[in-house]
Amino acid sequence: MTEEGLRKLKEELVQLESVERPKISQMIAEARDKGDLSENAEYDAAKEAQGMLEAKIAQLKGVIASARLIDESAIGTDTVQIMNKVTIKNLGTNKQMTYMLVSESEADLKSGKIAVSTPIAQGLMGKKVGDKAEIQVPSGVMHFEIIEISL
């Protein structure tokens, strides 16, 4: 993962632990003060939210603990690899798209970042500029040509 991706994960973890956790604890306390817990929907909802938050915190801690930083200076543009920006042309529609191949935790399609585990990224890995790729996606086979590889 990139340094930026790791930094964002750490910021999210701090937000969850220092803001969201106390907020949910407060919700539980308020619901508990309303009396009978056996029929208290607010209490049940707050406890469920707490469980989901704690699971998210544990998951983030696991990702951060096992993260390996990518040496961006060692990344080339001869072939498609993680951390490359790849401009491809869909040979079926003649539309061009640019994606950056990133780790699972950094993927964000809105900002053009796709995980290296996706079918499209897997089909592009190792290819060079000018190469054509046939990629099996859920809707069928798509044909792409690699136009540019950059950092």
pLDDT of the residue at 26: 92
pLDDT digits (tens, 9 = 90+) for 98-149: 999 988 888 888 999 999 999 999 999 999 999 999 998 888 899 999 999 9
Is 79 found in the same domain as 57?
A: no
pLDDT digits (tens, 9 = 90+) for 24-76: 999 888 888 877 777 778 888 888 999 999 999 999 999 888 888 877 666 77
Is 120 found in the same domain as 62?
A: no
**Distances, alpha carbon 52 to alpha carbons 27, 48, 56, in Å:** 14, 6, 6
Is 49 found in the same domain as 18?
A: yes
The domain in which residue 14 lies consists of 3-66
The total domain count for the chain is: 2
